Amino acid sequence: MEIKLPIALEALINHLSRLPGVGKRTAQRMAAELLRWKDNDLCAFADCLAHLHERVQSCPICGNYTDGGPCVICANPLRNPAQICVVENPAQIAIFERTGCYNGLYHVLGGKFAPLSGVGPEQLRCTQLQERLKDGQVKELILATSADVEGEATAHFLADMFQDCDVAITRLAIGIPAGADLSYTDSPSLAQAFSGRRKL
């Protein structure tokens, strides 16, 4: 028999359960912890949530997170404007930045094709990308969508869309993960690594 919790606690648990990776039991544990927080910590957290959309905006150029106006990358004059790396979401920009091997600009699509959820070219920021290619400054478009079926479909759609533009269209290499033991590599990656092998 489940015990009846106070309404406000039940509501909090329901909100927490909607977070990724959080089930009912974890949400209960989080709520118990939040009850131990001081009132001003709770209010600061609440304030963050209530004003999230007005304080964290989309960069009008690339779609990355920004405090307002162009994002830190688009506003940086040291970045190479001849390269645009196309990613699915702003969180992926952080992943590329951590590698430290890319100094161009980004373009956030806002997702990848997902026909079952009704996500097609119109739901993604494809026309905005087209706009950015118009002035001829961009020389390379790196399609860095995921290596799954949806990501590949999205990349191929974009490659078709921009085939007549004077821009090199590239795709991230697929192969064995760096540092990986070959014994544990999955066949699709190994097959792609084979066909994409390079001269030493």
Contacts with a copy of itself by CB under 8 A lie at: 1-9, 11-12, 15, 18-22, 26, 28-30, 32-35, 37, 39, 41-53, 55-57, 65-67, 72-73, 89-91, 93-94, 97-98, 100
Structural contact between residues 62 and 106, judged by C-beta atoms closer than 8 angstroms:
yes
- Cβ-based nearer residue to a copy of itself, 26 or 192: 26
Closest distance between a copy of itself and the C-beta of residue 84, in Å?
A: 16
Closest distance between a copy of itself and the C-beta of residue 194, in Å?
A: 32
Closest distance between a copy of itself and the C-beta of residue 63, in Å?
A: 12
Please classify residue 138 by burial: count the beta carbons closer than 10 Å to its beta carbon, then call 0-12 exposed, 13-18 middle and 19+ buried: buried
The type of residue at 48 is C
Helix (H, G, I), strand (E, B) or coil at 87: strand
60 Cβ contact list (under 8 Å, min separation 6): 69, 70
Closest distance between a copy of itself and the C-beta of residue 98, in Å?
A: 7
- Cβ-based nearer residue to a copy of itself, 35 or 180: 35
Backbone angles phi, psi at 3, to 5 degrees: -80, 145
